[in-house]
Amino acid sequence: MPPSSFRKSMSRLLKQQKRWEKGLTRMARASRAVIAFQADTLAAFSRPVPPPRLTEITGFGTNPGGLKMFAYVPPALPRHAPLVVVLHGCRQNAEVYERGAGWTHLARERGFAVLYAEQRRANNPNVCFNWFRPSNVTRDRGEAGSIRQMITRMVALHKLDRRRIFITGLSAGGAMTAAMLAAYPELFAGAGIIAGLPFGAARDVSRALDAMAEPPQRTAREWGDLVRKATDKPLPKRLPAVSIWHGTEDRTVAFANAEALAAQWLDVHGLPPEGGRTEKVDGHQRTVWTDMRGEPRVSLYRIEGMDHGTPLKAGTGPRAREIAGDYMLDAGISSTRHLADAWGLKKPTLAAVLQPGR
């Protein structure tokens, strides 16, 4: 072989070797990247998922009830997003209730805002909402007035959909939810009352304790009249849909209060008690009353064997969105997700995400 041909062959071999070396280097880098990605993924799934942080908001109005306001707004909130108002129970605060119920996790997944009203110990030694005091449940007064101001602030600040405002609460928060529906029936599209009491069940502490053990004996018409007389404004044509949740073994607020709540809102909606349809949902009994168009207007969930608390479908792993605890009870059914589904709070469309409301 001539010397020139040998040099050319060696040159080609060296170039080919360099190409192989570069290819091997790229493959090694890719392998390391895959291994790192797998490690990060495994680590992410092994870490607990903390709930999105609630932000305290001040200066939302005159705050006649002296409450605190907390909120969560997911990134890139869709245009005209809904709002869910959440009221904690006694011996709880916004953060504790959120940790169990997981409303902010769901808000991040489905694109809505969450508002938590929080009681102060100065107002009630057990940090219960004062649902039994007329001065706190009258329209635009006391705690009801404070919650209304919080809602107004959230709607204006984030350009939320005024037609899709929902409210839910546990125990004293459930009773306050019923009071908010009576004081502002035009404001809410739907409500979830969990282990609560009907509006007007008591007017002071002594009668509140009596009502928790056994609600006052009233006809459905009398319960309904309490709502109709709660405001000097006529009831709106489109009344909020009411979902009632209560454990059959509740030793704090008797289950009879759930039945009184159903009677109250069936009368307000003008629906016959015998018109309900009963079915099983996640192993528990649900009775639903619908309007002329077949839309659910009142529903009653009997959570079999559950004591006083919010029914959850609690997870046990680090990725759990709902966590059982005091008054946050694993009943195999998620009141949070069932309420969100009933209210039409679904994952936002791409078009909605691309047009943020803020």
Q: What is the pLDDT along the chain (358 residues), one digit of tens a residue?
A: 555 554 555 566 556 666 656 655 565 454 443 333 343 333 333 445 565 789 999 999 999 999 999 999 999 899 999 999 999 999 999 999 999 999 999 999 999 999 999 999 999 999 999 999 999 999 999 999 999 999 999 999 999 999 999 999 999 999 999 999 999 999 999 999 999 999 999 999 999 999 999 999 999 999 999 999 999 889 999 999 999 999 999 999 999 999 999 999 999 999 999 999 999 999 999 999 999 999 999 999 999 999 999 999 987 655 668 999 999 999 999 999 999 999 999 887 654 555 544 4
Instruction: State the catalytic residues.
Output: 171
Radius of gyration of the chain (CA): 27
Which amino acid would we find at residue 105?
Answer: H
Cα–Cα distance measured from residue 114 to residue 116, given in angstroms and rounded to the nearest whole number: 7
Cα–Cα distance measured from residue 244 to residue 194, given in angstroms and rounded to the nearest whole number: 6
Cα–Cα distance measured from residue 26 to residue 281, given in angstroms and rounded to the nearest whole number: 54
Cα–Cα distance measured from residue 277 to residue 275, given in angstroms and rounded to the nearest whole number: 7
- Answer yes or no: are the C-beta atoms of 243 and 301 closer than 8 Å: yes
Question: What residues are paired with 166 via a beta bridge?
Answer: 84, 190
- Answer yes or no: are the C-beta atoms of 237 and 188 closer than 8 Å: no
Residues constituting the chain: 358
Which amino acid would we find at residue 87?
Answer: L
pTM across the whole model:
0.84
Sign of CA dihedral 226, 195, 345, 106: positive
311 in the Ramachandran plot: left (φ > 0), alpha (ψ -120 to 50) or beta?
Answer: beta
